[in-house]
Amino acid sequence: MKSYKIALIPGDGIGPEVVKEGKKVLDTAGKKYDFRLDWHSYDLGGERYLKTGEVMPDSVLEELKGFQAIYLGAIGHPQVKPGILEKGILLKTRFVLDQYINLRPIKLYPGVECPLKDKGPEHIDYIVVRENTEGLYTGGGGLLREGTENEVAIQESVNTYLGVERCLRYAFELASRRKRKKLTLCGKTNVLTYAFGLWERVFRKMAADYPEVETDYTHVDATCMWMVKSPEWFDVIVTDNMFGDIITDLGAITQGGLGIAAGGNINPQGVSMFEPIGGSAPKYTGLGKANPVAGILAGQMMLAELGEDTAAQAVEDAVMKILPVMSSQSAGRMGMTTSQVGDRIAAEI
């Protein structure tokens, strides 16, 4: 029987209860489709940091390189200063494992409440390819005369040819495999002329390699508007790290919210990490109110990346059966508990 070594990082807040349901569903899919997930759990997160001062030991980071995938719950703790865990665990893993793509499907499933007037599943089915290792996230810049009235804060966006090229390549490949074959570059070429000048030049040049892919460009501000007004225009959107972060939260709310939205931090040649795109939601911790669907769909993306396509499809089908039965996709209003949602999806498989 095929077996996959998976690192499990439940993390903070609702993370543990959400990945528990994900694990339940994925193990069920494994039984049905004849593979085994060999889980190794890591207690990274706020509690460990508060107890030991450790955020991400180098030895753990080294070990993570030996897995076939990483499955993560959520990172962020109310008693820990913002940035420490996010940068020390999440961003560090993305960077060190060179997970240069953050893949975020924006798909409205039937039966899910959508805040957009007159929009349904037939209008909202696209995928954002967010660059995941560069841009404003590299930590470039610094402070001068900190704490004085002459303070200078510089936060630099790093865009390399290598980083831009490989991200665009991934997006073109993805678009060329999809039914609609349309790729939109989202940037800000009217102001950030250096950074998005590079993106646009490489984009235009690469387009010649993919004559079957229709290309389009929109500024990020207009992208936000079209994501609300005409989401059906989009098939694949490719963008930089910061813009990708922002537009995918907007996208998430159009597909039913952070209880649904999943993502993958992908290194196509290495170890990828899958996570719900929402946070640790501390106020819901341990109450059985969190929606585990985002975590379960992150697991579904993990199965697809591992090559277990049939099982991945079965998980998605099972989720689609349960979503319309839930009274809402928001935490605490689902009409069932976190583990009941997991049980029902597993039973469907």
Lookup: tokens for 134: 């560069």
Give the shortest CB-233-to-ligand IPM separation in angstroms.
23
11 closest CA partner among 53, 39, 37, 42: 42
Site of interaction with ligand IPM (CB under 6 A):
86, 90-91, 245, 277
125 tagged catalytic: no
Nearer to ligand IPM, 184 or 241 (CB): 241
Alpha carbon distance 34, 221 (integer Å)? 46
188 is catalytic: yes
Question: Does residue 131 belong to the site contacting Mn ion (CB under 5 A)?
Answer: no
In angstroms, give the least distance from the CB of 15 to ligand IPM.
Answer: 12
Choices 14-22, 48-56, 191-199, 241-249; region in contact with Mn ion by CB under 5 A: 241-249
Q: Which residue is nearest to ligand IPM (CB)?
A: 86
- For CA atoms 128, 129, 132, 134, the dihedral sign is negative
Nearer to ligand IPM, 66 or 139 (CB): 139
Q: Choose the stretch contacting Mn ion; rule: CB under 5 A; options: 11-19, 92-100, 221-229, 243-251.
A: 243-251
Nearest approach in angstroms of CB 119 to ligand IPM is 23
Window 244-263: contact mask with Mn ion (x via CB under 5 A)? -x------------------
Closest residue to Mn ion using C-beta atoms: 245
Q: Which CB sits closer to ligand IPM, 262 or 334?
A: 262
Count residues binding Mn ion (CB under 5 A): 1
- The catalytic residue among 27, 43, 98, 249 is 249
Distance CA 48, CA 8 (A): 15
Q: Catalytic one among 221, 229, 283, 317? A: 221
Tokens read off for 230: 């005409």
d(CA 67, CA 313): 23
What tokens were used for 327?
């009274």
To the nearest whole angstrom, how small is the minimum distance from the Cβ of residue 320 to ligand IPM? 25
SS3 track for 224-291: HHHHHHCHHHCCEEEECHHHHHHHHHHHHHHCCCCCCCEEEEECCCCCEEEEECCCCCHHHCCCCCCC
Specify the pairing of strand 101-107 against strand 125-131.
antiparallel
Would you say 56 and 92 are in contact if contact means Cβ atoms under 8 Å apart?
yes
Is residue 43 among the annotated active site residues?
no
Q: 200 touches which of Mn ion, ligand IPM, none (CB within 5 to 8 A by kind)?
A: none
| Identity of the residue, 132 or 291, whose beta carbon is nearer to Mn ion in the bound complex | 132
Q: Is 34 a catalytic residue?
A: no
Nearer Cβ to ligand IPM, position 35 or 71? 71
CB of 99 to ligand IPM, least distance (A): 11
Q: Minimum distance from CB of 249 to ligand IPM (Å)?
A: 7
The torsion angle over the Cα atoms of residues 197, 199, 203 and 205, rounded to 10 degrees, is 60
Backbone torsions φ then ψ of 79, nearest 5 degrees: -95, 5
Query: Catalytic site residue 245?
Result: yes
Q: Please, which residue, 252 or 334, has the CB nearer to Mn ion?
A: 252
* Helix runs in the chain, H state only: 15-33, 46-52, 58-64, 84-85, 92-96, 161-177, 193-207, 220-229, 241-254, 293-306, 309-322, 338-348
Residues 6+ apart with CB under 8 A from 7: 40, 41, 42, 63, 64, 67, 69, 70, 71
User: What positions carry a catalytic annotation?
Assistant: 137, 188, 221, 245, 249
For Mn ion, the binding residues (CB under 5 A) are: 245
